[in-house]
Amino acid sequence: MDDALPLEDLLEPDPELRKLLQDMDRSKVKLWLLTNAYINHGKRVVRLLGVEDQFEGLTYCDYGAKPMLCKPSLQMLKKAMQEAGATEVQACYFVGS
């Protein structure tokens, strides 16, 4: 269903966002995406924004998984931390909505 949304009409490359991400010190920060969308939608959004190469990975909501995990559940955060290789919740920051 997410693939049917006309995102090309709504999103365009965001140079300010790209610069913000590029300016982050990658020796101190690992940029990782966490979304309640399915993987195709998440990848499509960052591609249209022109920032897909700024992230090391993506944790997404697998609609077919049992149980289905999504934000804001603690299990979804733990899944994202595991996939990102993060071991301490105190070192993780959630930015977005």
Q: Give the per-residue pLDDT at 66.
A: 94
Whole-number Å distance between alpha carbons of 32 and 8: 23
The owner of tokens 């022109």 is 50
CA distance 13 to 45: 10
Of 38, 34, 43, 33, the residue nearest 2 (C-alpha): 38
What is the domain class of 30-97 according to CATH? Answer: alpha beta
Per-residue pLDDT tens digits for 35-75: 999 999 999 999 999 999 999 999 999 999 999 999 999 99
CB-side neighbour CA atoms (13 Å) of 42: 16
Structure tokens at 21: 């991400």
pTM to 2 decimals? 0.85
8 Å CB contact between 51 and 12: no
Domain ranges of the chain: 30-97
